[in-house]
């Protein structure tokens, strides 16, 4: 019988995802136990029972292992912003991310969730990398709000809305992460509703506030 290509692809993708999760779990445990700088990629690969060269099929660098979960969370947010149809407000896309995408994120184990914040906080290189990731997302949000407002991307109104949106999204993410660590069986679609509604109100209030600010001059 001829194998089902779809089934083979599914099996292959499942194995790749499991290997990726194993690499993250092993790396985070080593970083927490002996320090980020003191841990080599060869050690991570050996503990994960893969060839060191295979590591780079999954992660370009050691820092990317640390930020795998954050990148997984932010990637659909970025996609929501950049691929939203004409006429869909950016606020709607952001709320769709919080309500539909975030609850479906493939989680690492609880030890990884607990350890990541302290690992990042202890290493200046990682703190800078985290700020850069968030700055990139804020720029994307600024571009999105500028489109909604019909204004240039360097306008203060679009930047204010992007800052409000990013802070609100981070609060939702922090709540999601906290509840997963504290209550592994919690229902994110229900538990995140209050904080998501706060994000919604922040976006509504922000849009009302910027109406009091002057619009940027029209460029010829």
- Residue 23 sits in the same domain as residue 132: no
Tell me which of 61, 78, 93 is where a domain ends.
61
Cα–Cα distances (Å) from 76 to 4, 29, 84, 89, 214, in that order, read 29, 27, 12, 16, 33
- Tell me the pTM: 0.85
Q: What is the mean pLDDT of each run of 10 residues along the chain (220 residues)?
A: 48 86 94 95 94 92 93 91 93 92 82 91 96 96 95 93 95 82 65 85 93 75
* Residue 189: predicted pLDDT: 63
The answer to whether residues 34 and 91 belong to one domain is no
Number of domains present in the structure of the chain: 2
pLDDT of residue 218: 64
pLDDT given at position 186: 60
Choosing from 23, 45, 61, the residue where a domain stops is: 61
CATH of the domain at 180: 1.10.357.10
Tokens (6 digits) for 202: 């922040």
Query: Which of helix, strand or coil describes residue 4?
Result: coil
Q: Please tell me whether residues 50 and 115 are part of one structural domain.
A: no
Chain-centroid distance of CA 166 in Å reads 11
CB atoms within 10 A of CB 46: 13
Whole-Å CA distances, 135 to 66, 101, 127, 142? 18, 21, 12, 10
Residue 136: per-residue pLDDT:
95
pLDDT on residue 179? 75
Q: How many CA atoms lie within 13 A of 48 on its CB side?
A: 27
Same domain, yes or no, for 14 and 106? no
Report pLDDT for 16. 87
Same domain, 124 and 20: no
Which DSSP category does 216 fall into? P
Find the domain containing 23 and state its range. 1-61
Instruction: Determine which helix (DSSP H) or strand (DSSP E) holds 145, and give its type and residue range.
Output: helix 124-149
What was the pLDDT predicted at 2? 42
| C-alpha to C-alpha distance for 96 and 90, rounded to whole angstroms | 10
Q: Are residues 186 and 124 in the same domain?
A: yes
| Cα distance between residue 180 and residue 106, in whole Å | 12
Residue 105, CA distances (Å) to 46, 54, 173 in order: 27, 24, 11
Are residues 53 and 72 both part of a single domain?
no
204 plus 106 within the same structural domain = yes
């Amino acid at each position: 019988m001829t194998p089902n290509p779809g089934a083979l692809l599914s099996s292959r993708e499942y194995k790749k995802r499991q290997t990726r999760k194993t690499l993250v779990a092993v790396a985070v445990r080593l970083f927490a136990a002996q320090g980020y700088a003191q841990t080599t990629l060869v050690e991570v690969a050996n503990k994960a029972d893969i060839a060191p060269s295979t590591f780079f099929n999954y992660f370009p660098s050691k820092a990317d292992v640390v930020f795998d979960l954050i990148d997984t969370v932010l990637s659909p947010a970025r996609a929501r912003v950049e691929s939203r149809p004409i006429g869909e407000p950016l606020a709607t896309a952001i709320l769709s991310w919080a309500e539909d995408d975030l609850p479906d994120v493939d989680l690492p184990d609880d030890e990884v969730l607990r350890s990541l914040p302290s690992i990042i906080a202890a290493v200046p290189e990682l703190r800078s990398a985290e700020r850069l990731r968030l700055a990139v997302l804020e720029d994307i949000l600024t571009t999105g709000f500028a489109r909604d407002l019909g204004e240039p991307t360097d306008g203060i109104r679009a930047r204010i809305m992007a800052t409000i949106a990013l802070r609100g999204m981070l609060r939702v993410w922090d709540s999601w992460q906290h509840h997963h660590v504290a209550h592994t069986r919690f229902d994110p679609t229900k538990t995140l509703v209050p904080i998501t509604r706060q994000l919604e109100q922040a976006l509504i209030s922000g849009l009302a506030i910027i109406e009091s600010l002057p619009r940027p001059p029209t460029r010829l």
